[in-house]
Structure 1
């Protein structure tokens, strides 16, 4: 898939834009959170601000994926990120994933970010299907998926190794561009 044109989205309390290296300390702090360490262990391979800056540079390139930093609109405080990845042009499909800082949880950051980026991906990228996978034990992610019209399609048993070293089952949710509901 060709390079994606970078964009910004503002929705209520939250502002979404391509990542910046200045977010490195906040990203590193996010990776230290126990829930993030459990559910997204690949992100936890960063241990220095330089490594975090490198990751942010890579995400900001928007080559083969689109990564948005989630910021509080009024303060521009980093609250996490949402990304559309594993883009499959032939099948008009992709995956969506997100991580939210502890201070922003329960305030609609993930729900708003997933809603906005889902609508953007269907409209701008022309996708027909987006999947969202999360650990069966991650009830908050299940609620985010459901609130955004991602239907539960099944359980993948022992699908990923969590930060605890154990294999976890995952819920697979999906939303189609043709599904009813607002975005």
Structure 2
């Protein structure tokens, strides 16, 4: 796995990784949890990660067409929250997701062709329970795209952002998501007839 750091999120100064506001550092420099929040992670620097067949980088508005196509995929609609279904909405979503503050989103690309294969996000970085979400285009399924993306982002968030715990939730019938969670070290902590909840701790 190769990691390349880029610029800070738009509108933020400096290039420090996962910056923590002065006075809010805990033991070992990790962001201290205050009032149920992870202490002040702001201005997260854009990062690129390459792992075998797959490359992760910040989203771009040129991917709007692929986002709309994924929104129209039946399996995606069945298992996850809705994505924008028109290009204008997709562009707005990509612009929002490219601002790494309170969340990070990576586009997943095939390393050789740079074809867009989906996205992986960590939402709720300003809460006590950040959540990992991954959606993969039909053509990339069965090629370890989701497993690679979730594993890379999990390791990066734990090591660089000092995130102490990550959650991955999916519908009980979504067997593929359950396999990805297990392969990436997320322990199944709760199972109801509708939802499975997996937790990852370093």
Q: Indicate the residue corresponding to 2:101 in structure 1.
A: 63
Of structures 1 and 2, the larger Rg is shown by 2
Aligned length: 162
CA RMSD after TM alignment: 1.2
> What CA distance in whole angstroms lies between the structure 2 residues aligned with 1:21 and 1:135?
29
Q: Indicate the residue corresponding to 2:69 in structure 1.
A: 29
> What CA distance in whole angstroms lies between the structure 1 residues aligned with 2:126 and 2:187?
20
Q: CA deviation at 1:156?
A: 4.5
Correspondence 1:145 to 2:181? yes
Structure 2 counterpart SS, 1:87: coil
Structure 2 counterpart SS, 1:171: strand
Correspondence 1:170 to 2:186? no
Map 1:10-159 onto structure 2 (within 5 A).
10-43=50-83, 46-88=84-126, 91=128, 93-156=129-192
> What CA distance in whole angstroms lies between the structure 2 residues aligned with 1:28 and 1:15?
21
> What CA distance in whole angstroms lies between the structure 2 residues aligned with 1:53 and 1:64?
20
Structure 1 counterpart SS, 2:190: strand
Q: CA deviation at 1:47?
A: 2.4
Q: In structure 2, do the counterparts of structure 1 residues 41 and 94 end up closer, same or farther at CA, with 3 Å as the change threshold?
A: closer
> What CA distance in whole angstroms lies between the structure 2 residues aligned with 1:42 and 1:12?
29
TM-score, scaled relative to structure 2: 0.77
Contact map agreement 2:66 2:116 (CA 8 A) in 1: yes
Q: List gaps (5 residues or longer) in structure 1.
A: 158-168, 178-183
Q: CA deviation at 1:117?
A: 0.3
Structure 2 counterpart SS, 1:41: coil
Q: List gaps (5 residues or longer) in structure 2.
A: 1-40
Q: Indicate the residue corresponding to 1:161 in structure 2.
A: none
Contact map agreement 2:104 2:122 (CA 8 A) in 1: yes
TM-score, scaled relative to structure 1: 0.85
